[in-house]
Amino acid sequence: MKVLIADDHELVRDTLAAFLEHERDIQTVAVADLDEACKAAEKTMFDLILLDYSMPGMNGLEGLERAIKASDGRPVAIMSGTAPKATAQAALDAGAIGFLPKTMGAKSLVNAIRFMATGETYVPIKFMTAEEPEEVNPVAQGLSQRELEVLGGLCRGLANKEIARELNLQEVTIKLHVKTLCRKLDVKNRTQAALKAKEAGLF
C-alpha cells in the first residue's frame, strides 16, 4: 500500500510516516505543500493521499479538488488539528474519502488509513456527533480571536505590515499583538511563536 502524506510541518510528516512505515505493507512519500502533493500524485498511483487542511496552497477545500484531479480519482483525505466538524462535512461533500483529526491515536490512525485505502469513507463518529464545542487546542487557550489571526499570519511567514494589511489594522497594533503572543506563549520571538503553534497542530 502506498500513502502520500502532505503536511507543511516536518514533525507531523515524520511522525505520521514513522507510524505507517512501521506497518510492513505500507510505503509512504512525504511532501510539504499542495503543489508537491499534486506533482507526486501525477507520477505515482497512491492508494491514499492525506492532505493537511491548513498547509500552503490548500486555500480551504480548493486544494482538495486539485488533489483529486491530480490523483486521477484515487482516495484523498483531509487531516486537521483545528478544523470543526462543519469543515469535515464540507470536505466529504467535496469528494474527500475521509477526515482525520490530528488528535487520533496511532493505532486508530493506521486502521482508518487502511479503511480509506479500500475506498471506504471514514470520519470518527465521536468527532461528528459531539454536541459540546470542539476541544480548544491548548496553545489557543487564553488567546483572543484577533491574536489567533495574527498568529496565523506569523505561521504563514507574513511580515507585520502584511498582517496589518490583511486584518485592516495599523502595523503598530500588530507589533503589540506579536509582543503579547510571545508573552502568552512563553517564547522569545515571532519565529518561536509560529513554531510552537505549528507543533501543536494549531495551523
For 138-199, give the CATH class. mainly alpha
**What pTM did the predictor assign?**
0.64
Which architecture characterizes domain 2-129 according to CATH? 3-Layer(aba) Sandwich (3.40)
- Note the pLDDT tens digit of each residue in 130-175: 664 556 678 888 888 899 999 999 999 999 999 999 999 999 999 9
What does the alpha-carbon distance between residue 123 and residue 102 come to, in Å, rounded to a whole number?
Answer: 12
Sorting pLDDT into bands at 50, 70 and 90, what band is 200? confident
**pLDDT at residue number 203:** 74
Residue spans per domain, the chain:
2-129, 138-199
What does the alpha-carbon distance between residue 199 and residue 185 come to, in Å, rounded to a whole number?
Answer: 13
| Joined grid coordinates for residue 154 | 506569523
